[in-house]
Amino acid sequence: MNFVELLEHHILNHTLSRWTLGGLSLPLSKHLLMLWISGVLAVLLFVPVAQLNRKGVRNTAVSLVEMFVLFIRDEIVLPNMGAHGLKYLPYMLTLFFFILLCNLLGMVPWGSTATGNISVTASLAICTFLLINFAGIREFGVVHYVKNIVPSGLPLWLVPIMYPIELLGLVTKSFALCIRLFANMIAGHIVILSFLGLIFLFGSVLIAPVAVAAAVGLSLLEIFVAFLQAYIFTLLTSIFVGAAVHPQH
């Protein structure tokens, strides 16, 4: 059994149908399907929950969602962006739950981790990057925002050096977001597959209990990581947007 083939089968994307739009290839793939399933699930879950919450119904789902929403509002958005940031709260909520659902769907049998695809995480990071700049420009206007990219009060000769560094930093932040989520989501899968692969590598059933136990443990860890990475992605996005809205003077 070829381990590389096995890994590729489980981790990489598979094109299901080739669609093109004016020369741009927009294929329907496994990960795209998972994204859509996450999106549909999110809509099916949160729209009714919101309606129930407005009517004052309290049940497990409503309370759970409200708990997450309050956590994101009070622990992520408000401390990092201030009351100003409340207008970005819906974006942060969508980001958190979308990433969380994608991560968790990777743990479901026959599911696949869309956030373990670098194209998906890169797209989300690009959205964050655009939001950082959009929020900064919206707050200060283009000229002031561009001036704010370097900290004010620098000696004049430092400004030409600082500009590339700060711009690079801006891109790096988003790039790090992309890699962090991608690597975290894929690493657990690779390790689980490796443990299960041990059974075939040794060709012995005796190793199976150990491998399965390790895989179960790692799966539990992966559930934790799914929440953790959704949290971190949202937290860092909030911090970056908050920094763009409130630059250090």
- Would you count residue 174 as binding another protein (CB under 8 A)? no
The DSSP output letter for 240 is H
Query: Smallest distance from the beta carbon of 171 to another protein, in angstroms?
Result: 15
218 CB neighbour count, 10 Å cutoff: 19
Contact 25, 18 (CB under 8 A): yes
Query: Smallest distance from the beta carbon of 234 to another protein, in angstroms?
Result: 13
Of 120, 177, 235, 236, the one binding another protein by CB under 8 A: 120
- Would you count residue 77 as binding another protein (CB under 8 A)? no
CA 245 from chain center: how many Å?
22
Q: Which of residues 86-115 bind another protein (CB under 8 A)?
A: 89-91, 93-95, 97-98
**Nearest residue (CB) to another protein, 111 versus 146:** 111
Of 80, 112, 113, 117, the one binding another protein by CB under 8 A: 117
Per DSSP, helices labelled H in 141-158 are 142-148
Query: Smallest distance from the beta carbon of 66 to another protein, in angstroms?
Result: 7
Q: What is the dihedral of CA 131, 246, 81, 103, to 10 degrees?
A: 40
Query: Measured between alpha carbons, how far is 41 from 33 in angstroms, rounded to an integer?
Result: 12
Phi, psi dihedrals of residue 61, rounded to the nearest 5°: -65, -45
**Nearest residue (CB) to another protein, 43 versus 210:** 43
Residue 249 tokens read as 């003077």
Query: Measured between alpha carbons, how far is 24 from 34 in angstroms, rounded to an integer?
Result: 21
**Nearest residue (CB) to another protein, 146 versus 180:** 180
SS (H, E, C) 48-80: HHHHHHHHCCCCHHHHHHHHHHHHHHHHHHHHH
Q: Which of residues 6-45 bind another protein (CB under 8 A)?
A: 7-8, 11-13, 24-27, 29, 31-32, 35-36, 39, 42-43
3-state secondary structure of 178: helix
Of 105, 124, 177, 241, the one binding another protein by CB under 8 A: 124
Q: Which of residues 195-224 bind another protein (CB under 8 A)?
A: none
**Nearest residue (CB) to another protein, 51 versus 204:** 51
Q: Which of 239, 31, 51, 202 is nearest to 128 (CA)?
A: 239
Binding residues (CB under 8 A) for another protein: these are 4, 7-8, 11-13, 24-27, 29, 31-32, 35-36, 39, 42-43, 46-47, 49-51, 53-54, 65-66, 69-70, 73, 89-91, 93-95, 97-98, 117-120, 122-124, 126-127, 186
